[in-house]
């Protein structure tokens, strides 16, 4: 299997696109939150976007990419915040959000 070589700029663009899709999907969930299958699909999409962003962030920490450490840590922190938000919004019944996956 051939490994795809991405530049640091391409990785950052993909991470930002993932963040944009995540935010757009979560805001559109408010319009159709009464449909259970859409909520589950949104949860799966959010988890996939978080995993892809995390993998891209880990690749960005490679020594061949000349990016400041603050930028790398900032992107990783944003990804971890999106992941924590997904966990709290969909899985934690004690959070401020309703436990939509279990209702």
pLDDT digits (tens, 9 = 90+) for 41-94: 888 899 999 999 999 999 998 888 888 899 999 999 999 999 998 888 777 766
CB–CB of 66/8 below 8 Å?
yes
Query: pLDDT category, 32, cuts 50, 70, 90?
Result: confident
Q: What's the pTM?
A: 0.81
CA distances in angstroms from 85 to 5, 45, 79, listed in the order given: 30, 14, 10
Q: C-alpha angle with apex 14: 67 to 65, nearest 5 degrees?
A: 20
By three-state DSSP, how is residue 35 classified?
A: coil
């Amino acid at each position: 299997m051939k490994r795809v070589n991405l530049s640091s700029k391409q990785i950052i663009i993909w991470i930002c696109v993932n963040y944009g899709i995540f935010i757009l999907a979560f805001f559109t969930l408010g319009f159709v939150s009464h449909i259970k299958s859409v909520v589950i699909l949104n949860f799966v999409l959010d988890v996939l976007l978080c995993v892809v962003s995390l993998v891209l962030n880990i690749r960005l920490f490679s020594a061949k990419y000349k990016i400041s450490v603050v930028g790398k840590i900032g992107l990783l922190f944003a990804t971890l915040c999106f992941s924590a938000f997904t966990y709290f919004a969909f899985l934690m019944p004690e959070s401020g959000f309703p436990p939509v996956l279990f209702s």
